[in-house]
Structure 1
Amino acid sequence: WTLVYIESVTNDLAQNIASPAVVSPRIRRPGHEPPEAVIVDAHRTVTTPVRAEFHGAPPSAITQADERSNESEEFSTSILNESEEFSTSTLSKASMESKRSEPSPFTDVVAHTALGWFRFKNSFLRKHIVDEEKAPAYAERVNSSLYSPFVKASFYESAYFETKNRRPLEKLQRAQSMAEVFREAVAMYGPESCLGFRPVIDTVEERQSDNKIFKKLKLAAYRFHSYEDIDNLVTLYGKGLRMLGVKPRQNVVLLAETRLEWMCVAQALFRQNMPIVTLYSTLGDEGIIHGIRETEASVVITTRELLERLHQAFAGLPQLEHIIYMEVMDGPSPRAIEGKNLMSLFELRRNAKFSMVDFKDEPPTPDDVAILMYTSGSTGAPKAVILTHRNMLAAARGLGEIFEKLRVRPKDDVYIAYLPLAHVLELNCEILAILYGVKIGYSSAATLTDSSTGLAKNTEGDCTLLKPTIMAAVPLVLDRVKKSVLEKAAAKSSTARRVLELAVEDSVRRYKAGQVSSSSSSCR
Structure 2
Amino acid sequence: MSDWLSFLSSQSTLIGLGTVAAATAYYVASRPTPFQSLVDLDNQSIELPGPERARISKFCPGGKLVATLYDDVKTQYDVFCRGRRISGDSPCLGWRPDAQSDFEWITYNEANERATNLGSGLVSKFNCTTDSKTFIGIYAQNKPEWVITEMAVLSYRMVLVPLYDTLGPDASGYIINQAEISTVVCDAAKVPLLFDVTKRCPQLKVIVKIGDVTEEEKTRASELDLTIISMTDLEAEGAANRHDHVPPLPSDLSTICYTSGTTGDPKGVMLTHANFIADTAGAFMQLQPDNELNKDDVHLSYLPLAHAFERIIQCGLFCGGARIGFFQGDIKLLMNDLQTLKPTVFPSVPRLLNRVYDKVIAGVSKSFVKKTLFQMAIRSKENDIKRGIIRNDSIWDKIVFKKVQATLGGRIRLVLSGSAPLSSKVMSFLRCSLGCHVLEGYGQTESTAGSTLTLLGSSDVGQVGPPLACNKIKLVDVPELDYFAQNGQGEVCFWGHNVFKGYYKNPEKTKEALDEDGWLHSGDIGEWHSNGSLRIIDRKKHIFKLAQGEYLAPEKIEQAYNLSPLVAQTFIYGESLQAYIVAVIVPDEEVFTSFAAEKGWKGTFAEICASEEAKKAVLDDIVLLGKKNGLKGFEQAKAVYLHPRPFSIEDNLITPSMKVKRPVMKQFFKAEIAAMYAAVGNA
Q: What band does the TM-score fall into relative to the shorter chain?
A: 0.5 to 0.7
Q: CA contact under 8 A between 1:115 and 1:499: conserved in structure 2? A: no
Q: Find the counterpart in structure 1 of residue 337 from structure 2.
A: 462
Q: Which amino acid counterpart does residue 230 of structure 2 have in structure 1?
A: S
Question: Quick one: which of 362, 365, 381 aligns to 2:246?
Answer: 362
1:502 Cα offset (Å): 3.7
Single out whichever of 510-519 and 296-305 deviates more from structure 2.
510-519
Q: 1:331 to 1:504 in 2, by over 3 A?
A: farther
Q: CA contact under 8 A between 2:162 and 2:258: conserved in structure 1? A: yes
What runs of 5+ residues in structure 1 fail to find an aligned partner? 1-78, 84-95, 127-143, 149-168, 201-217
SS class of match (1:310): helix
Matches within 5 A, 1:70-469: 107-123=15-31, 145=34, 172-200=70-98, 218-243=99-124, 244-248=126-130, 249=132, 250-327=134-211, 334=217, 336-337=220-221, 338-353=224-239, 355=240, 357-404=241-288, 407-408=291-292, 410-443=294-327, 446-447=330-331, 452=332, 461-469=336-344
Q: 1:500 to 1:352 in 2, by over 3 A?
A: farther
SS class of match (1:323): strand
Q: CA contact under 8 A between 2:34 and 2:387: conserved in structure 1? A: no
Q: Find the counterpart in structure 2 of residue 139 from structure 1.
A: none
1:80 Cα offset (Å): 6.3
Q: 1:484 to 1:261 in 2, by over 3 A?
A: farther
1:379 Cα offset (Å): 1.8
**Structure 1 residues 60-109: Cα deviation after superposition (integer angstroms, max 9, x where no partner):** xxxxxxxxxxxxxxxxxxx96999xxxxxxxxxxxx9xx9xxx89x7132
SS class of match (1:343): strand
1:388 Cα offset (Å): 1.2
Q: What is the rounded CA distance, in whole Å, between the counterparts of 2:215 and 2:102 in structure 1?
A: 24
**Structure 1 residues 306-364: Cα deviation after superposition (integer angstroms, max 9, x where no partner):** 11233221244221111012127x999746322111011111122222x1x33122111
Q: Which amino acid counterpart does residue 258 of structure 2 have in structure 1?
A: Y
Q: 1:187 to 1:345 in 2, by over 3 A?
A: same
Q: Which amino acid counterpart does residue 225 of structure 2 have in structure 1?
A: G
Q: CA contact under 8 A between 1:322 and 1:342: conserved in structure 2? A: yes
Single out whichever of 281-290 and 221-230 deviates more from structure 2.
221-230
SS class of match (2:300): strand
Q: Which amino acid counterpart does residue 431 of structure 1 have in structure 2?
A: C
Q: What is the rounded CA distance, in whole Å, between the counterparts of 2:359 and 2:329 in structure 1?
A: 14
Q: What is the rounded CA distance, in whole Å, between the counterparts of 1:272 and 1:492 in structure 2?
A: 60
1:470 Cα offset (Å): 1.2
Q: 1:112 to 1:413 in 2, by over 3 A?
A: farther
Q: CA contact under 8 A between 2:79 and 2:319: conserved in structure 1? A: yes
Q: What is the rounded CA distance, in whole Å, between the counterparts of 2:6 and 2:137 in structure 1?
A: 37
1:402 Cα offset (Å): 3.4
Which aligned runs of 4 or more in structure 1 are off by greater than 6 angstroms?
79-83, 330-333, 490-493
Single out whichever of 390-399 and 282-291 deviates more from structure 2.
390-399
Question: Quick one: which of 377, 382, 401 aligns to 1:508?
Answer: 382
Q: CA contact under 8 A between 1:304 and 1:334: conserved in structure 2? A: no
SS class of match (1:319): coil
How many residues are aligned here? 361
SS class of match (1:221): coil
Q: Which amino acid counterpart does residue 508 of structure 1 have in structure 2?
A: E
Q: Which amino acid counterpart does residue 190 of structure 1 have in structure 2?
A: G
Q: CA contact under 8 A between 2:87 and 2:295: conserved in structure 1? A: no
Matches within 5 A, 1:24-35: none
Q: What is the rounded CA distance, in whole Å, between the counterparts of 1:113 and 1:270 in structure 2?
A: 59
Q: Which amino acid counterpart does residue 221 of structure 1 have in structure 2?
A: D
Q: What is the rounded CA distance, in whole Å, between the counterparts of 1:472 and 1:82 in structure 2?
A: 24
Question: Quick one: which of 457, 460, 471 aligns to 2:346?
Answer: 471
1:516 Cα offset (Å): 4.4
1:412 Cα offset (Å): 3.7
Q: What is the rounded CA distance, in whole Å, between the counterparts of 1:490 and 1:219 in structure 2?
A: 34
1:274 Cα offset (Å): 0.4
Q: CA contact under 8 A between 1:416 and 1:441: conserved in structure 2? A: yes
**Structure 1 residues 194-243: Cα deviation after superposition (integer angstroms, max 9, x where no partner):** 2211113xxxxxxxxxxxxxxxxx45222222212211121111111112
Q: 1:184 to 1:411 in 2, by over 3 A?
A: closer
Q: CA contact under 8 A between 1:441 and 1:466: conserved in structure 2? A: yes
1:397 Cα offset (Å): 1.1
TM-score for both structures, normalised by structure 1: 0.61
* Identity in percent: 24
Q: CA contact under 8 A between 2:136 and 2:159: conserved in structure 1? A: yes
Q: 1:432 to 1:81 in 2, by over 3 A?
A: farther
SS class of match (1:373): strand
Q: CA contact under 8 A between 1:269 and 1:276: conserved in structure 2? A: yes
Q: What is the rounded CA distance, in whole Å, between the counterparts of 2:22 and 2:368 in structure 1?
A: 14
Q: 1:236 to 1:379 in 2, by over 3 A?
A: same
Q: CA contact under 8 A between 2:346 and 2:412: conserved in structure 1? A: no
- CA-atom RMSD, angstroms? 3.6
Q: What is the rounded CA distance, in whole Å, between the counterparts of 2:195 and 2:255 in structure 1?
A: 25
Q: 1:439 to 1:286 in 2, by over 3 A?
A: same
Q: What is the rounded CA distance, in whole Å, between the counterparts of 2:105 and 2:289 in structure 1?
A: 27
Taking CA–CA contacts closer than 8 Å with sequence separation of 6 or more, which of the two structures ends up with the larger relative contact order? 1
Q: 1:440 to 1:507 in 2, by over 3 A?
A: farther
Q: What is the rounded CA distance, in whole Å, between the counterparts of 2:71 and 2:380 in structure 1?
A: 37
Q: What is the rounded CA distance, in whole Å, between the counterparts of 1:242 and 1:421 in structure 2?
A: 24
1:146 Cα offset (Å): 7.2
Residue 480 (1) aligns with residue 355 (2) = yes
1:508 Cα offset (Å): 3.2
What runs of 5+ residues in structure 2 fail to find an aligned partner? 38-66, 394-410, 416-683
